Structure 1
Amino acid sequence: MNITESIFGELNGHIIKSYTISNDHGMSVSCIDYGGIITGISVPDREGNIENVILGFDTLEEYINHSPFFGAIIGRAAGRIAGSAFTLDGTVYQLKKNDGEHQLHGGAGGFHQVIWDSDAEKGLNEANIRFSYISPDGEEGYPGTLEVTVNYTLNNENELAISYEAISDKKTIINLTNHTYFNLSGDLKRDILDHEVTMESDHFLELDETLIPTGEFIHVENTPFDFRAGKEIKEGVMSGHQQNVLAGGGYDHPFLLNTGEMTVVDSASGRKLAVETDRPSVVLYTANMLGSDFKIRGVQSKSHLGLCLETQCPPDSVHHEHFPSIVLEKNEVYKTKTSFKFHVV
């Protein structure tokens, strides 16, 4: 295992640090303390060629000017909060809007663009980057001073584990995730339309025209949302299903998980990503709305160039009592973990 540290840029007088963890088998993970962003993950294909398998940039300016949450820590609440408001114990909390009338991914000043404290630790068979941040009471409208720690741990099994821990001095809501866009072709040689996703999920959440969950669970049987036996992304992209069309031609939907295990396979490169989470749902987003006005490490950005597996509680759970709760009691410890393990097939 090895860790290197360098300067990625400067923002408002703060030096932005970059870390790269490399294991003994050719896998490496790079991240920066701006947004806790994972800037690169390099893994071998079936021929042993080591290439980057996520979307990201080489400069801080590109992340600030163009990034649709590439690789970032998302909080305090992932997804959309309807009407940018919620009620706890009779008190209405008004959040800052950044998606029409709604708040998306914690607001414009969310965790994806704060500067986190960071440090690195190396062991014999794993290495860890720890990010920590204290979100003040009222930040983006959320109650409570929230102390957050996120760990990125790479081991010699080609597994990246992301663990989250938080505690608040007031009752609040929290729903953290990571927003990495995966493309297993390697160095963005192809889009993700031929990527096959498998997950044990019997129901997905219906969305309204503003992409807010309606509260209805729809059974996946006989729909493009049935990934139980595996399905290529292009089936949903080319589908005329109302929910696929609504999302911009593809997926931007929460799936309720029967188990916390999912896989993504790119048969051309032989790369397989196995995901394991303790969260009750995942939002599958297939970059349907990825802009085309910038380049990603020399490759023209376009729709369906990556896919996200945002493990979390369902978005807008605070407005749906039958959804898993995202309420965090005062001094209660929030703790969750998702791992991403790479194989070849």
Structure 2
Amino acid sequence: MDIRHEIAGLTTMGPAPGTPVDAYTLSTAGSMAVTVWSYGATLVEVLVENNMGDPVNVVKRLPGLAAYEDRALNAYLGCTMGRFCRCVREGRLVLDGTEHALDRNEGRHHVHGGPDGFDRRVWESRVEEAPDAASVVFRLVSPDGDQGYPGQVTVEAAYRLHESGRLTFDFTATTTAPTIVGLTNHAFWNLAGAGTIDDHLLAVNATRVMRFDDELIPLGGALDPVAGGPLDFRAPRRIGSAKVDNYLVLDGDPGWAAELRDPRSGRRMRVTTDQPGFGVYSGDGLAEPRTGLCLAASAWPDAPNLPGAPSVRLDPGTTYTHRTVHEFPPPDGIT
């Protein structure tokens, strides 16, 4: 395993312009390599071979730091979202009878941690090495009242590349007061390395999907079955031109959560997670539409306001954890 450190640039926006942004590249003895930045604890590149042995970046990236800082260009590409990565209806959060007003950044709603979420921060960083793996661990302290959330929260986001080619995301958080936490990585995957994701084959281990209103806020109530509908990805299926932007509730089988395959290059990606579902988005709103598929393992959208949703509450003395693993088997056609 090898770890290379560089400076991606200096910030020009935010509360501390001129802050250096660390860039780390983890690489295996083979040709797989992963690049992450301390700005937003962001996944910038994942190099994976195709069936001819040629490595290419399979996550959508921007040309440089200035583009990542520009909200008009950066649709949360590859970043760590938080403090709560999904929507909160009307920015309303009630804990122990006390209502907290979260900062609103999507009309009347709070989305992806607010206007100055974790994706806009420069995180502290350190490296960790083991005989068969290398990691970059990013750390951030979110003060009490940050974006309206109660409690000071200390967060870590670890990217770990194993010699076998397995890429692991590990998130942890602790708090000084009751709050909510839900973290995720928001990479857009394109196993072809270019073009659209229309010819990719997608499978998700989900038989139920959430109901949304026209603002993409959950309606609550019963979940809808996917069987026979446009979001029925229980078996591998070509994405085609379908516009997908929804939350699929996983069925809980620890063996697999999602699989993505590009028939032309032969690249495959298998995902497992301890989260209850995936936000699946076909990237129609990207500056270059449909050039990446977002598979964001996360808590339920608007979980603090939905009866029956898995809890997202975090109390002092406990630790929030989230693990998602991406595996890249040998490409189809390689023997």
- Bin for the TM-score computed over the shorter chain: over 0.9
Whole-Å separation in 1 of the counterparts to 2:177 and 2:268: 42
Whole-Å separation in 2 of the counterparts to 1:320 and 1:195: 33
Do 1:170 and 1:331's aligned partners in 2 also have CA atoms closer than 8 Å?
no
**Structure 2 residue aligned with 1:55, among 57, 60, 68?**
60
**Structure 2 residue aligned with 1:331, among 310, 317, 335?**
317
Whole-Å separation in 1 of the counterparts to 2:244 and 2:33: 29
Aligned residues between the structures: 320
**Structure 1 residue aligned with 2:238, among 232, 236, 256?**
232
Do 2:86 and 2:299's aligned partners in 1 also have CA atoms closer than 8 Å?
no
Shift of 1:312: 0.9
Shift of 1:308: 0.8
**Normalised TM-score (structure 2):** 0.93
**Structure 2 residue aligned with 1:280, among 276, 280, 297?**
276
**Normalised TM-score (structure 1):** 0.91
Shift of 1:121: 2.1
1:90 matched to 2:76 = no
The residue aligned with 1:311 is 297
**Structure 2 residue aligned with 1:270, among 247, 266, 269?**
266
The residue aligned with 1:130 is 137
The residue aligned with 1:34 is 39
Do 1:95 and 1:142's aligned partners in 2 also have CA atoms closer than 8 Å?
yes
Residue type matched to 2:20 in 1?
Answer: I
Whole-Å separation in 1 of the counterparts to 2:226 and 2:21: 44
Shift of 1:124: 2.3
1:6 matched to 2:6 = yes
Structure 1: runs of 5+ lacking an equivalent: 238-249, 292-300
Q: 2:232 aligns to what SS in structure 1?
A: coil
Whole-Å separation in 2 of the counterparts to 1:131 and 1:54: 20
The residue aligned with 1:219 is 225
The runs of at least 4 consecutive aligned structure 1 residues that moved more than 6 Å come to none
The residue aligned with 1:341 is 327
Do 1:131 and 1:150's aligned partners in 2 also have CA atoms closer than 8 Å?
yes
Q: CA RMSD in A?
A: 1.0
Shift of 1:166: 0.6
Shift of 1:84: 1.2
Whole-Å separation in 1 of the counterparts to 2:184 and 2:133: 22
Do 1:197 and 1:232's aligned partners in 2 also have CA atoms closer than 8 Å?
yes
The residue aligned with 2:246 is 253
Whole-Å separation in 1 of the counterparts to 2:93 and 2:101: 7
Shift of 1:324: 0.9
The residue aligned with 2:166 is 159
Shift of 1:331: 2.2
Q: How far does the alpha carbon of each residue in 1:152-175 deviate from its partner, in whole angstroms, 9 at most, with x for none?
A: 000111111000111101000011
Whole-Å separation in 2 of the counterparts to 1:23 and 1:51: 15
Whole-Å separation in 2 of the counterparts to 1:13 and 1:192: 36
